[in-house]
Structure 1
């Protein structure tokens, strides 16, 4: 995904970079990856219509805003965090998401938060929205740490508005109102979800993704959680009513895919055919495939193939 701004990574003293972040974003504590007094990063500001925006580049281990920092500097903003380059694990309360370029997460300045980079160079835009006005407009839904899913069409609309605000400052006041309207529509969808609707929507999307990507050997529970913009722990909670974990669900769907293939007419060399079926079903370990297949169906894959 194309970057919104050109990232800057220049050598800076850790204390200086932390001071710059605190000037612009409030009290955050920066921990470098190694025992060093120097990091690669930069902090810049830009006005985007209604919003002050910070552009933060760094290669930290993590950045935190804890209870002590909040007491020292309560802050009166919500930060719409936009991952521009690199990756970041953002956590607030029970909500967590691994952000890839383009992902967004709404962070509340008066609640503890953590941003994990593990030393990878990262560049982020932090759009500062007045907390009081946001609460007045949208209620408490906006204060719980909100991941904005790119699976939602509103994500694409917000991305387009932000891109235009950066490129055309002269019309960004009107675009700022449009941005608030889009964000409000997204939050309204969360707020008005039926009692089980939000959970069921997440679960149904997860199940659909498993069915869609089960044949991809690189697709696992971690990747599923990342695509849904939730933590693996939260994803597991939504699977509890099914009595299984995301990993078990994915394994069973792959085994079912392999079983279906094995009941079809096979090639002349059964062993090669079974190996191909296993790989086509998303397995990259044949011994693991044989073991799990026998556990589920009570017979080896070759026996099932010969029966058909």
Structure 2
């Protein structure tokens, strides 16, 4: 599906609101601060399979992804930002990152974040599904709101990704799919290399990827737990916890968050079916309904029953 939007035919007093609405429709829900004299906004893009790819330019704006929006739409994806002509800024998990036109950065759409630009700026954008990116880059959540651009492979990716974002509407369907797949594969190589530059030893990096992949593959099984990872990897429970502690998490926390993300997606898909919250909880991997209710409310601020499709 192709999209083209331009504010030039919108009355000046309505342009700020119209731009925010256009972003919400093409990507997902945001709150935004726009100045009274907001005038410029244009976007061209396409939905390529499960990816959203676009090129945009607009006046100064601050965009916030809030917990209320995350809880409402249940989007599980990663926002890839490539500035075109001036530095922009991302903020997530307490980290604020300026991103220059020779860099790129990512944030998670399933966590609150803020995006800021102080003047007219262009940006190339892709929204990559969470399950897809985690399957090829298991450590992505440790690399959010960080700038990339110093290495030759980074620069190659930036060139190719910007070309795809700007030209995607001129590609035929087959070319869109091939180019977007290559973009994700190259991004995975970069993120894998960035993980290798962490303080963890190479062998710990390999083990962490094994653990994250097992969680991604089996988290919806209510019987899956730490002992299954021990059996599959041959690692001790203590060593597994030490590896995950390096990223600021525990096995239980990582597994619970992944199950909650799946539950949110299933709850938001209930518009076309009559699936109960109990069914959703079990399908997402929760065997204990009380634990599911407590965890969901702690993470998203409301009960699963209040999740509106």
TM-score interval, normalised by the smaller of the two chains: 0.5 to 0.7
Match of 1:29 in 2: 31
Match of 2:268 in 1: none
SS for the counterpart of 1:176 is helix
Q: Report which of the two structures shows the higher radius of gyration computed on alpha carbons.
A: 1
CA distance in structure 1 between the partners assigned to 2:180 and 2:98 by the alignment: 26
Task: Mark the CA change 1:102 to 1:172 in structure 2 (over 3 Å): closer, same or farther.
Answer: farther
CA contact (8 A) 1:83 1:101 kept: yes
SS for the counterpart of 1:62 is strand
Q: Which residues in structure 2 correspond to 1:120-135 (within 5 Å)?
A: 120-135=119-134
Report how many aligned residue pairs link the two structures: 190
CA distance in structure 1 between the partners assigned to 2:16 and 2:38 by the alignment: 5
Match of 2:20 in 1: 18
Match of 2:90 in 1: 90
CA contact (8 A) 1:30 1:60 kept: no
Q: Which residues in structure 2 correspond to 1:1-308 (within 5 Å)?
A: 10=8, 11=12, 13-33=15-35, 36=36, 38-47=38-47, 51-118=51-118, 120-142=119-141, 144-165=143-164, 166-167=166-167, 169-170=171-172, 171-195=175-199
SS for the counterpart of 2:22 is helix
Range 176-185 or range 166-175, more displaced: 166-175
CA distance in structure 2 between the partners assigned to 1:59 and 1:8 by the alignment: 12
CA deviation string 1:49-99 (max 9, x = no partner): 873213332223411112222122231221111111333111111332212
Shift of 1:174: 2.7
CA contact (8 A) 1:50 1:176 kept: no
Specify every segment of 5 or more residues in structure 2 that has no aligned partner in the other structure, as ranges.
Answer: 203-309
Specify every segment of 5 or more residues in structure 1 that has no aligned partner in the other structure, as ranges.
Answer: 1-6, 199-308
Task: Mark the CA change 1:161 to 1:142 in structure 2 (over 3 Å): closer, same or farther.
Answer: farther
CA deviation string 1:272-307 (max 9, x = no partner): xxxxxxxxxxxxxxxxxxxxxxxxxxxxxxxxxxxx
SS for the counterpart of 2:138 is helix
CA distance in structure 1 between the partners assigned to 2:161 and 2:127 by the alignment: 13
CA contact (8 A) 1:92 1:144 kept: no
CA distance in structure 1 between the partners assigned to 2:139 and 2:201 by the alignment: 19
TM-score by length of 2: 0.53
Task: Mark the CA change 1:147 to 1:8 in structure 2 (over 3 Å): closer, same or farther.
Answer: farther
TM-score by length of 1: 0.54
SS for the counterpart of 1:195 is coil
CA distance in structure 1 between the partners assigned to 2:31 and 2:171 by the alignment: 32
